[in-house]
Homo-oligomer: A and B are copies of this chain.
Amino acid sequence: MTRTSDEVTEFDRHTAVTSLGDGRYRTEVDPGWDVIGGAPNGGYLMAILVRALLEETGAPDPISVTGHFPARTPAGEAEVTTEVVHAGKRLTIARAVLVSDERPRVLLTGVFGDLDEVHGPSGGEAQEPALPPREECVSIPDGMDAPPITDRFDLGIDPSCIGWALGQPSGEAYAGAWLRFADGREPDTLSLVTYADAMFPAVLNAVPEPSWVPTLEMTVHVRDRPSPGWLKTVFTTRHLDDGRLEEDGEIWDSEGRLVALSRQYALVRG
In-complex Cβ contact of A120 among B123, B242, B261 (8 A): B242
- Count of chain copies: 2
Contacts of A238 in B (CB 8 A): 124-126
Using an 8 Å CB-CB cutoff, how does the interface string of A60-97 with B read, 1 for contact, 0 for none? 00011010101100000000000001101001010101
User: Is the C-beta of A121 less than 8 angstroms from some C-beta in chain B?
Assistant: yes
Is B246's CB under 8 angstroms from A221's CB?
A: yes
Contacts of A224 in B (CB 8 A): 241-242, 244
Contacts of A173 in B (CB 8 A): 123-125
| Nearest CB of chain B from residue A69's CB, rounded to whole Å | 8
Assembled-state Cα–Cα distance A263/B265 (Å): 12
Assembled-state Cα–Cα distance A85/B64 (Å): 21
Is B70's CB under 8 angstroms from A86's CB?
A: yes
Q: Interface extent on A, as a size class? A: 35 or more
Assembled-state Cα–Cα distance A239/B224 (Å): 12
Is B265's CB under 8 angstroms from A64's CB?
A: yes
Is A120's CB under 8 angstroms from B66's CB?
A: no
Contacts of A257 in B (CB 8 A): 241
Is A95's CB under 8 angstroms from B107's CB?
A: yes
| Nearest CB of chain B from residue A233's CB, rounded to whole Å | 15
Contacts of A66 in B (CB 8 A): 66, 109, 217, 219
User: Is the C-beta of A138 less than 8 angstroms from some C-beta in chain B?
Assistant: no
In-complex Cβ contact of A241 among B85, B124, B267, B268 (8 A): B124
